Amino acid sequence: MPCEPSIAGPLVDGFGRVHNSLRISVTDRCNIRCFYCMPAENVRFKPRREILTFEEIERFTRVVTRLGVNKLRLTGGEPLVRHNLDRLVARLAEVPGIEDIALTTNGILLAEQAGALKDAGLGRLNVSLDALDAETFRQISRRDGFERILAGLFEAQRVGFARIKLNAVAIRGITEAQIVPLARFARRHGFELRFIEFMPLDADGKWDNSQVLSGDEIRRVLEDEVGPIEPLPVGDPSQPATDYRFVDGEGTIGFINPVTQPFCGDCNRLRLTAEGQMRNCLFSTVEWDARAVMRGGGSDDELAELVVSCVGAKKAGHGINSDEFIKPQRAMFQIGG
Ligand code: SAM
Ligand code: SF4
């Protein structure tokens, strides 16, 4: 039995930010190839032996919960391609201190797995949907699968997931025509749509500021073409989205604007990559090797010390807009979004 670490939480960084949220990437593999995340072909995935086992993920989670982490999000790559993900959810739901488990998925395998995930204790679901037509979806993802995502969304609602969030990455020159259809679709079916600005985390290294379709621009389009919106009171300040509601009462809309309006000042998030590297930011250029501690026979105290040093080294912000910004070596699918 691992012994209780003597290192105490909460996990506070040098800027006073308390970290209570962990994003766990369960795989770097994916069944599609979104251009803003992965290369089109010949992706180099990590060998399976390098990927954390469910036991290792659970152990890491137990250690960080004792340091104050109470929220988990499973991501990837595409988390639903990891076999028996529902079993991992069930294990994590049993960890004392975990209050909330969420999942971010592209939705392609959701229809098959939604029921088991709900039964296992998954609380919340974010489904990525950048476009409402199959052709634009294929242009972005370089694969088919649009109809399966819709089927997955409706199945998830049917099995009881409430307030499902739709994540739409907005890309100038590609998704302008999707803004209004996505908003109408979300309003009609009770999904909470959030637009996300395109960040420099594409594997092809082609990101350019001119491709960023800002949240403010989208908001103006929605007000002109769908209806007036008004800000909702800020609930949890660490949540990345700025939320609005349509004044007619039908639906909400969120904007995640990491490029034009960075929200690093309230960040409470830590990340664990699929092969067990801790990161204190999406844009970290440094990682802390939790797998080496676990596979090298390290104690829970040593693991906790690693987590504390990772948090302690967190920078004030990502600095995307500064001249000193260094794009991370890893692309989004290798970090876990
Ligand atoms: N495969 C799952 C999915 O697509 O939902 C989970 C992993 S994905 C990396 C997590 C989220 O990051 C998705 O909503 C995706 O659209 C978003 N994302 C990926 N690359 C991005 C980028 N360069 N800029 C902004 N968002 C990005
Ligand atoms: Fe796969 Fe998600 Fe990356 Fe798209 S954004 S390629 S679905 S991991």
User: What confidence score (pLDDT) does residue 105 get?
Assistant: 98
The Å distance, Cα 78 to ligand 2 centre, comes to 6
pLDDT digit string (tens) for the chain, length 337 residues: 455 557 888 999 999 999 999 999 999 999 999 999 999 999 999 999 999 999 999 999 999 999 999 999 999 999 999 999 999 999 999 999 999 999 999 999 999 999 999 999 999 999 999 999 999 999 999 999 999 999 999 999 999 999 999 999 999 999 999 999 999 999 999 999 999 999 999 999 999 999 999 999 999 999 999 999 999 999 899 999 999 999 999 999 999 999 999 999 999 999 999 999 999 999 999 999 999 999 999 999 999 999 999 999 999 999 888 888 888 889 999 999 8
User: What confidence score (pLDDT) does residue 130 get?
Assistant: 98
User: What confidence score (pLDDT) does residue 3 get?
Assistant: 52
User: What confidence score (pLDDT) does residue 319 get?
Assistant: 84
Q: At what angle do helices 110-120 and 85-93 cross, to 10 degrees?
A: 20
User: What confidence score (pLDDT) does residue 128 get?
Assistant: 98
Other C-beta atoms closer than 10 Å to the C-beta of 120 total: 19
Degrees (nearest 5) of the Cα angle 42, 26, 109?
Answer: 75
Report the largest interatomic distance among the alpha carbons of the chain, rounded to a whole angstrom.
60
**Domain ranges across the chain:** 11-335
User: What confidence score (pLDDT) does residue 328 get?
Assistant: 87
Degrees (nearest 5) of the Cα angle 40, 41, 42?
Answer: 145
Residues with CB under 6 Å of ligand 1 are 30, 36-37, 75-76, 78, 104-106, 128, 167, 169, 196, 198-199, 201-202, 332-333, 337
User: What confidence score (pLDDT) does residue 172 get?
Assistant: 98
| CB burial string 203-224: b at 16+ within 10 A, e below | beeebeeebbbbbebbbeebee
Is 30 a pocket residue for ligand 2 (Cβ < 6 Å)? yes
Q: 31: Cβ–Cβ under 8 A, 6 or more apart, which residues?
A: 78, 81, 106, 108, 109, 143, 145
* Start-to-end C-alpha separation, the chain: 32
Query: Closest ligand 2 atom, CA of 30?
Result: 1
Cα–Cα distances in Å, from 142 out to 34, 39, 42, 195, 260?
6, 10, 13, 20, 27
- The strand pair at 71-75 and 21-25 is best described as parallel
Which residue, chain included where needed, has tokens 């995502």?
149
Ligand nearest to the Cα of 33, by number: 2
Question: Is 272 in contact with 293 (CB distance < 8 Å)?
Answer: no
Superfamily of 11-335 according to CATH:
Aldolase class I (3.20.20.70)
Question: Is 200 in contact with 265 (CB distance < 8 Å)?
Answer: no
The Å distance, Cα 305 to ligand 2 centre, comes to 32
